[in-house]
Amino acid sequence: MRRLSVSGVVVENSFAEAFDMRATALIITADSRKWARQAATTMTGFATSVIGCGCEAGIDRELTAAETPDGRPGVRVLLFAVSTAELQKQLLARVGQCVLTAPGSACYGAIAGEEKLKLGSALRYFGDGWQISKKFGSRHYWRLPVMDGEFVCEATIGMTKAAVGGGNLIIMGASARNVLNAAEAAVRRIGATRDIIMPFPGGIVRSGSKVGSKYKALVASTNDAYCPTLKGAVASKLGREIASVLEIVIDGLTPEAVGEAMRAGIAAIIGLGPEKGALRIDAGNYGGKLGRHHFHLRALLP
């Protein structure tokens, strides 16, 4: 296969293999942007991978007061899981422990869906009988008295089964600094697209994994083919010029959203160029046998 280089950055003839997931979206508001963001950040903590966290979650974008149901600053959060039951469990645990507890917060659904997840209709019992149901228009809210006033929460929120998890870009370069530059540029550009999250710290993961392990207890282990310190010891995917690799994982509410995010990331990496950024862009897959969504890098070139 002929090498394809765009502005000096090699784009591998590969694809990201992604999976169907369940997802929901919610709007968290508070009296100030700071506290809306704080609640959202806390709620989406420890949610990098379904492998160890039960769900993948992150902030999609910040919302102006005009975009939220209660006219206060808000943040849109997306939550992904592999099953409806796990998504329900994670939603209640995270909103209950991280949003209900945050000063001035309120919580609303932010996605239409035929199937619904319980939110306020389950959390309401915290009100110990003092909870109040309110229906305005087509929306049903619960009001729970708390120590700074009331926690308002929508009774149920929508869920989609059309979500996709596991879109990814593998970014390779001559130095850790350059690769991080490229990854950060990609995260910034991807962050401007809608309906996606990048669940790892700052949107970037350095410990990409492969399926399985020599240890029976582990379902995943380090992706040795992409570890630069093992280049000579394993069947490495890295050339001599590669000294560092980072990955960006993307979950989206639709396949189209993931594709657009990957396209934006590739454009940012190529725009930065090989001198300050990445030498190669690759994507992780399992040979196309596990996930039905295949995002081919060369089809996403700017």
Partner 1 sequence: MSALVFRLKQPPDRRIDLSGLIPEALQGRSERAIARLALDGARNKLKVGDLFSLRMGEPMSLRFEGGSERLDLVGANMAAGEIVVEGSVGEQAGRLMRAGTLHIQGNAGPFAASRLKGGRLEIDGDAGDRLAAPLAGEMAGMSGGVVIVHGDAGARAGDRLRRGLIVVGGSSGKDAGSRMIAGTLVLRGKVAGAPGPLMRRGTIVLLGGDCPPSPTFLDCGSHHLVAATLLAAELERLGLGLARKLRRPVRRLAGDMAVAGKGEIWIASHSDPR
Strand pairing class (9-11; 280-282): parallel
Please give the residue ranges that form the binding site for partner 1 (CB under 8 A). Answer: 29, 69-72, 106, 129-130, 132-137, 141, 143, 149-150, 152
Q: Nearer to partner 1 by C-beta: 69 or 113?
A: 69
Q: Nearer to partner 1 by C-beta: 70 or 256?
A: 70
Smallest gap from residue 116 Cβ to partner 1 (A):
19
Q: Nearer to partner 1 by C-beta: 124 or 189?
A: 124
CB–CB of 75/121 below 8 Å? no
Smallest gap from residue 194 Cβ to partner 1 (A):
23
Smallest gap from residue 42 Cβ to partner 1 (A):
19
Smallest gap from residue 141 Cβ to partner 1 (A):
6
Q: Nearer to partner 1 by C-beta: 52 or 145?
A: 145
* SS3 per residue for 136-183: ECCEEEEEEEECCEEEEEECEEEEEEEEEEEEEEEEEECCHHHHHHHH
Q: Nearer to partner 1 by C-beta: 143 or 189?
A: 143
Residues paired with residue 141 on neighbouring β-strands, in sequence order: 134, 154
Smallest gap from residue 105 Cβ to partner 1 (A):
9
What value, to the nearest 5°, has the Cα angle with vertex 256 and ends 282 and 16? 20
Q: What is the DSSP string of 53-91?
A: HSSEEEEEEEE-GGGSTTSS-EEEEEEEESSHHHHHHHH
